[in-house]
Structure formats: structure tokens, C-alpha cells
Structure 1
Amino acid sequence: MKKILVTGASGWLGAEIVRTLLARGDAVVAADIVISPATAALASRDPKLTAVAVDLCEWPQVMSLMTAQRPDAVIHAAAVVGVIQCADIPIKANRVNVEGSINLFEAMRLAGVKRVVHVSTEETYGDFLAPTIDEEHPQKPVSVYGATKLAVEHYGRMYSRDHGLECINVRTCWVYGPHLPRPRVPRTFIEAALRGEPLHVDDGAQLAVDQVYIADTVAGLLLALDKPRHRYDSYNVATGVAPTIADVADAVNRAVPGARISVGSLGPYRHGGVVLSATKGALDISRARTELGYEPQYDLQRGIEATIEATRAAFAREAVTGDQR
């Protein structure tokens, strides 16, 4: 049994990482700026889980966490996540994503913790120059989010070269699944369909994006965590195919009888209807397959159906309790 520190552990992806690590028998230190009630409740039930409130932007807190817990490795999921979220608060995004990561790497160096798996993103590539791209594609981000994540990758390389850390970057794409916290595709399509409401989006039908179910993302992260030796410091973890936004709408319509979800092509896709998306496509996952043994288990239709099932159950609970997400 290893002890794994998970940053951003009360977030959507971080919480799934924590649950998966616990299920396979690891001890987990769940760190976040605020410990969610769900994480606290899980820690009260499972002695393998320790929950610690820590602000990665505050150096003394990070160093105290690392020296007190002495984890075997780190999965670094803490960040201001998303293109529009970072565009709205660029200074805070830089402080949390970049400065917080430097604090983490420095604390690891001083405490003798060597391996960190950083949750990175396709946004580091910027505009895709081909329908499918591999890890050697130029990294020219066009969003604040992508720029901060690329900076973290580069700082990780410096710490690896100069201090012997092993900073591994897992670049995923549009991760989705049950209870996605941001109102974007496919959540918006699924919720409208389950409510019996028609939804038409005027723009972005032809944007092709590799959409990755959350369980596949977590599986790839843990494979990178577990690999004894790495020849590479970056892996694309996605599906290797890129459905269009219109394809996602069709998948929802197939899965929910009577659903009326449609997307037009009047203009390009904009995050939140505001921030222009980079040109996307599919991530070549050959390296992750060969080096990690990664194989995605969810194609788009299966992932959409799993998300619909969980969302339908959440709606039923809301109807009984009166709670709204």
C-alpha cells in the first residue's frame, strides 16, 4: 500500500481520483483549499483517507503538508480549471495554477518526494494543426488556462532536470461524466433532454473535440502513477477520436427518447458563448497505449448513457428532497 497525496481532492476530478485510489487499497491524503462535506464524510468512514485543508498558494502550508505527510507520490489536480473560468480571473489563475505548482514542486524537493503526476490539458497545444495530434505537436496555447498549464509543465521539467523530481504530465481533453460541475457540453444537452426541454445552440456544430469519460481519465492518471520508469514526461490520455458537438447532440437524442437537442453552424464554438475555442481534434493515444497499457473503456455513446443514468438518478433525488444542484 502506498500513500498518495491528491491535490484538488475535493474537486470533481480530484474526488474521483481519491475514491479510485481508496478502492484499490492505497492510503490517500486529500488536500484542498476547502474540504468538501463529501470528502470529510468519506474520511470519517475510511481510515485510509486523511483530509487536509491547505492553500497551495501559501508556502508554509504546503511545506507543512509535505513534511507531515511524506507521501510516496503526488497526483496534482488542483487548479483553476477551464478556459472561460481562467479568462475571467487571469491573475488568480496564474497564482493558483503556476505559483501553487511551484510551491508544490519545491516542497517535494525539500521533503524528498520524487514523483508527481500533473493533470494537464490539450489546451497547451493551442490550435490543432491536424485532425489527430500526438505529444510532439507544438505547444502554443491560445487561452489563459492553456498558458498556465504549459508553464506548470515547463517548471516540472526544470525541477526534474535540476532536482531529480519526476514530473509526469497527463494531457487529457474535454473530460465529462456524472455531475460535471461546469455548465458545458454534454451536461447542458443531457439536462435539457431529461427535463423534456428542447435545446438549440446556434453555433459550433462542427467543432470536433476528443471527449473523455471521467473514469478513463482517472485510469490513465493511475497508470502513469504506477509505471516504474518513464521514457517520456507527457502522455495524451483521451479516446483517440473526435466527435463534433453535433455528434454529441445526436448521441443524447439517441439515448433519451423524445429529446430535441440541436446545434447550428452559424458561427464558431465559444466557451460559455463568449471565449472563442481553439481548433480541436483528436488526441493520438498511441504513446499511452504502448507505454502505460492505457485503453479507453467508454466511447461517446457509452459515456453519454452512463452520464444520463447518473443524472436521471440525481434528478430523482432532487424531486424527493427538494434540493437543487
Structure 2
Amino acid sequence: MKVLVTGGAGFIGSHIVDRLIADNLQVIVVDNLSTGRRHQVHPSATFYPCDITSHALEQIFEQEKPDAVIHQAAQVDVRQSMHAPLHDAIVNIIGTLRLLECSVLHSIQKFIYASSAAVYGKPHTTSINETHPIQPLSCYGISKYTPEQYIGVFSEQYGLNYTILRYANVYGERQELAGEGGVIPNFVLKMLQNTPPQIYGDGLQTRDFIHVEDVAAANVAALSAGDREVLNVATSQALSINDLVELLNEMMSIRIAPVYMPAREGDIRDSCLNNERTREVLQWEPQVSLHRGLLQTIHYVRNKMSIVSS
């Protein structure tokens, strides 16, 4: 099988590529390197420096003739989506539409789409399952959900097979140390530098942190399971941001108190996704414990710091 991975030079995408190649699949990576890193692309993958909104995308499909698409490329900064909603929509909505058109034109067997917990908005329950109402609080949440609807229409009209994976908060190696979504590596970096981490809000807000290796495993599993399903990729375990800082202090044998900042526009107070359906449909479950994942991330950040300082 030949799989085209968009965003395959990025944080999550590069881990998916590594896992696909470990399973002896052929991999095509499409990434404009706006946030991805060329050195993160596995040497066995074929790489195209291309934007998903570009007409050149169709030429890649024509030349490579992939069997499946795993779509990870996206604008993922919630704050940026509020300040520049047009750019957010162009990348996340128009970019996905371009991929869907190419996928139908070239008879793709499976289309796997990376969606987000942000589509749910303010939770009505402590554990959010896939039937929870869709009420995004940010432009990012809107731009991640809208392609889900397009995918459904393309499936009905053209028979496109798909799996939609709604991610909880993903963390781990290769994540940027600063910026949206990188709360864990960002906190680790600041605390290793003896600088207080900044918490936006009172720190009692909760998140479901899932390691990138488990997210990669879910994507690979979806190549052969979960047809026409919408599935949460999560641990189903909530952790407050205050408890995260306390845990990092304990694991790094330091004592640094956070600095509290005003809550940010578009941020969700609590988010914990129910993964029962995903476990059943994909025969998948998280393998990386929070303790192990945090240890790996601390090690990764320390290595990055030593490379920068050398």
C-alpha cells in the first residue's frame, strides 16, 4: 500500500510516517515546511515540498497514485485562528477540499482526517463521546469541523471511504517548544531554565493529554478499520494544568511555581474525550502512560537545549 501523508514533516505527521515505514508501507510526504522540519521526514519517504492549497497537489496524485491519504496538515493555533480567521479557513477548509477532490479523482481507498476536540466546545458532560453536540468556541474549532461535513458529503456522493479522528491534546517528541498546543514541552523548557511557566486562567482547567506515539498508532489502525466512523483519540483521563506543573516539578526534582495570566479567548475550560468507541472499532488503546510520556518529553527537551547551547 502507498500512503500519502500531508504534514508529514510535522510533529504528529512525522511520527505517523515513521510507523507506516516500520510496517513496510510506501509513504509520500506532502508538506510546505511552514511549521514542519525537513530533517524529521524519514529518509525512506518520498518528499514533496508542496502546499495543500496548491494546484500542484493534483500532479503529485497523478504521479504517485497513492492508495490512501492521511491528512495531518493544518493551521493549529487557536489564537491565530481568532486573529486571522481567513488564513485559518484557507488552510484547514480549502486545503482539505483540495485533497478531497484529488482523492475522489484518483479513487483513493481510504481518507483519514485529523480533527480536534475543539469541535465540541464547552462540554455538557465530564467525558465527551462522539455524539456530543458540536459547538466550537473558536474559529479553529469551526475550521476543523467544517471539513468533517465535506468528507461526509464526498462519501455520500462519490463513495469515498474515510475515518475521522478527533484528537485530544497531543504531546511528545518533535513538538515545538513554544506556541499553540505545546503546553507540556513549553512548561518543561521554562522549568529547566528555572523560569516560571505561564498558566492562562486559574490552572483548574483540565485536558486529556495523549502521547504522539498513540496518535500515530490510531492513524495506522484506521487504514484497515473504522470505515466511515468519527472517533476520539484520547486517554479518557483528565489532568488539571496545576496538577501538570506539580507533576513536572516532582519528576524533575525542582520547585517552581507558575505565573497565572488572564484566560485566553476561545480556550475551552475542560476537555476529556471518551475513547471507548475507538478502542472497540480500531482495536486500539493508548500504550504510553503519562509518566513515561512526560519522561520522554523531558529527555527530548533537555537534548534540544543542549544542541542549542552547544
Q: TM-score normalized by structure 1?
A: 0.88
**Correspondence for 1:255:** 251
Could you tell me which amino acid in structure 2 is paired with residue 119 of structure 1? A
Provide the C-alpha distance between the structure 1 equivalents of 2:282 and 2:259, rounded to a whole number of angstroms. Answer: 37
Could you tell me which amino acid in structure 2 is paired with residue 244 of structure 1? S
Contact 1:109 1:163 in 2 (8 A): yes
| One of 196, 207, 210 as aligned partner of 2:208 | 210
**Correspondence for 2:56:** 61
Could you tell me which amino acid in structure 2 is paired with residue 131 of structure 1? T
**Correspondence for 1:283:** 273
Contact 2:3 2:69 in 1 (8 A): yes
How far has the Cα of 1:10 moved from its partner?
1.6
**Correspondence for 2:123:** 128
How far has the Cα of 1:263 moved from its partner?
5.9
Residues 151-300 of structure 1 mapped to structure 2, 5 A cutoff:
151-181=146-176, 182-183=178-179, 184-199=182-197, 201=199, 203-227=201-225, 230=227, 232-262=228-258, 269-270=263-264, 275-300=265-290
Contact 2:31 2:73 in 1 (8 A): yes
2:68 aligned with 1:73, yes or no? yes
Provide the C-alpha distance between the structure 1 equivalents of 2:125 and 2:272, rounded to a whole number of angstroms. Answer: 9
**Correspondence for 1:29:** 28
Aligned-partner SS, 1:71:
coil
Could you tell me which amino acid in structure 2 is paired with residue 258 of structure 1? I
Provide the C-alpha distance between the structure 1 equivalents of 2:109 and 2:128, rounded to a whole number of angstroms. Answer: 29
2:306 aligned with 1:316, yes or no? yes
How far has the Cα of 1:276 moved from its partner?
3.8
How far has the Cα of 1:128 moved from its partner?
0.8
Aligned-partner SS, 1:133:
coil
How far has the Cα of 1:74 moved from its partner?
0.6
Provide the C-alpha distance between the structure 2 equivalents of 1:200 and 1:151, rounded to a whole number of angstroms. Answer: 32
Task: Give the number of aligned pairs.
Answer: 305
**Correspondence for 2:10:** 11
Displacement over 4 Å in runs of 4+? none
Structure 1, 308-317 or 98-107: larger mean CA deviation: 308-317
Contact 2:30 2:52 in 1 (8 A): no
Question: Against the structure 1 CA distance between its residues 19 and 286, is the aligned structure 2 distance closer, same or farther, given a 3 Å change threshold?
Answer: same
Provide the C-alpha distance between the structure 1 equivalents of 2:63 and 2:287, rounded to a whole number of angstroms. Answer: 37
- Structure 1: give runs of 5+ residues left out of the alignment: 321-325
Could you tell me which amino acid in structure 2 is paired with residue 226 of structure 1? S
Aligned-partner SS, 1:155:
helix
Contact 2:137 2:266 in 1 (8 A): no
How far has the Cα of 1:107 moved from its partner?
0.9
How far has the Cα of 1:255 moved from its partner?
0.8
Cα RMSD (Å): 1.9
Provide the C-alpha distance between the structure 2 equivalents of 1:30 and 1:251, rounded to a whole number of angstroms. Answer: 36
Contact 2:199 2:241 in 1 (8 A): no
How far has the Cα of 1:112 moved from its partner?
1.0
1:266-300 per-position Cα deviation (integer Å, ceiling 9, x unaligned):
86x42xxxx24123231000001111111112232
How far has the Cα of 1:206 moved from its partner?
0.7
1:294-321 per-position Cα deviation (integer Å, ceiling 9, x unaligned):
111223222211100111122222232x
| One of 27, 41, 52 as aligned partner of 2:48 | 52
How far has the Cα of 1:197 moved from its partner?
2.9
Contact 1:7 1:75 in 2 (8 A): yes
How far has the Cα of 1:176 moved from its partner?
1.1
Contact 2:10 2:40 in 1 (8 A): no
